A and B are shown apart, each in its own frame.
Chain A
Amino acid sequence: MRVLLRTLAPLLGLALAAVGVLLVIEVVAAWVRPGSTTGIVVPWQAWQATLRDTTWSDRPVLVVSVCVGVIGLLLLLVALLARRHDVPLTSPTPAMTVSTSPRVLARLVGRTVRASDDVAAATVSASARRVVVRAEGWPEDEGSLKETVRARTDALIDDLPLARRPSVAVTTRSRKEPR
């Protein structure tokens, strides 16, 4: 989302600037050329005639209004969702800020979980608040796989100097086929 923000921001800035330039050009041109039947860049007199004959309840106006609203909503969502999702870690001094990414935390948990002999595969998603582990394996008895995965995940999270301990959710699935 931050890549989208970085791409959109200069483009929208340039678009605003272009609208400003067009506005100045057309107003000055209309001022110095009274009686002209068309604009220099924008056919605003044709637009004027169309706008005079179109009412607010006409279908094209409604469609354009909804499109503008949806674009606005999308821009608002990009702006709100483009925040950083860092995982803060405790630092030895206030002059030092230590952080990592959710991806790194997920990789650490995944590597720890997969190191267990009972686990055949594991998928991990992580954030600063929550770690979700989905594991598959060959447990000796029902429930032992879940306990193993949870114990390993808890031990790793206890070892890491995380500023806030995330909650851990584990789901497991037993494989029927032989190892």
Chain B
Amino acid sequence: MTTVDMPKGVVRRSRRAVARSAGGDRTRLALLGLVLLLAGTGAALLGWGVFGRGRAGRPLLDPMIVDALRAQPLLWRWVAIAAGVLLLIVGLWWAVRSLRPERRPDLLLESDAETRLLVTAGAAADAVAERAAGLPGVSRTRGRMVGKPGSPALRLTVWLDDEADVAEICRRLDAEIVTEARDALGIAHLPVAVRLELDTAKSTPRVA
């Protein structure tokens, strides 16, 4: 199979399968950090009189602001309640998304009105991992299906021993193991992310 007839989504899915994405958490944390940084810097500059001595000497709860709030109490109450509800929803959504375990999609091979042929995520990943563990230079493996139910990918962690030929292992993983899995499951594409680890060296005595 060449790159030309490989759907773009397959390549993207194999890249995304490398590890659980922390992009959302990083973006939200960066936004929160930026807001706090700007607020803290702004308040400090205001207090040091950068925006004028008069402004620095005004109270935190400025009577002008209090008067403006008291002029429209009903409006500002609703604004405050809406802000509170928004914070509650955003905060809970963030916490739930951060704590939610990663999806392990099953492979749906056939589905019609009467039959539904499904390979569970664990069975598919374990079968590939077990075959990969038999390659020379590989001491152990761990497989896991990741991604969305309609577009799964395989994350394969491979622990290498001292004599491992990394390039050869990668070639055989693609040419033999993943191709076999695709043929056996009857699917055209199975994006794979391989993570190479080095197995702990067995300690041998320096003196026999």
Residues of A within 8 A of B (CB): 2, 5-6, 8-10, 12-24, 27-28, 31, 48, 51-58, 61-62, 64-80, 82-84, 86, 89-101, 104, 107-108, 111, 159-161
Contact = CB atoms under 8 A, between A and B. Distances in A.
Q: Is the interface of A mostly helix, strand, loop or mixed?
A: helix
Given A72-B39, A161-B167, 20 more contacts: A10-B95, A17-B87, A17-B90, A18-B91, A19-B91, A20-B88, A20-B90, A23-B87, A24-B85, A51-B59, A56-B47, A57-B49, A69-B39, A71-B40, A75-B29, A78-B33, A97-B192, A97-B193, A97-B194, A100-B195
Contacts of A89: 166, 170, 196
Interface string B11-47: 1001101110010011111101111111111011011
Please name the 7 residue pairs, one residue from A and one from B, whose CB atoms are nearest each other, closest first.
A69-B40, A72-B36, A20-B87, A17-B91, A75-B33, A16-B91, A72-B37
Interface of B: 1, 3, 6, 10-11, 14-15, 17-19, 22, 25-30, 32-41, 43-44, 46-49, 55-61, 77, 80-81, 83-99, 162, 166-167, 170-171, 173-175, 178, 189-198, 201
Contacts of B80: 23, 27
Contact of B175 (A64, A71, A92): A92
A82 B60 CA distance: 36
Given A66-B44, A95-B192, A96-B178, A51 B61 contact: yes
A145 B11 CA distance: 44
Contacts of B25: 5-6, 9, 82
Given A12-B32, A72-B35, A2 B77 contact: no
A22 B91 CA distance: 13
A53 B59 contact: yes
A73 to B, nearest CB: 5
A17 B6 CA distance: 44
A92 B87 contact: no
B190 to A, nearest CB: 7
17 contacts: A5-B25, A12-B28, A12-B91, A20-B83, A56-B55, A68-B40, A68-B43, A69-B41, A75-B32, A76-B34, A76-B37, A92-B170, A96-B170, A96-B174, A98-B170, A159-B166, A159-B167
A57 B88 contact: no
Contacts of A73: 33, 37
A5 B26 contact: yes
Q: Which of A22, A82, A83 has the most B CB atoms < 10 Å from its CB? A: A82
Contacts of A24: 81, 84-85, 88
A19 B6 CA distance: 49
A92 B77 CA distance: 62
A160 B160 CA distance: 13
Given A15-B91, A52-B61, A98-B194, A6 B40 contact: no
Contact of A21 (B1, B77, B84, B167): B84
Nearest to A66: B44
Contact of A57 (B57, B89, B167): B57
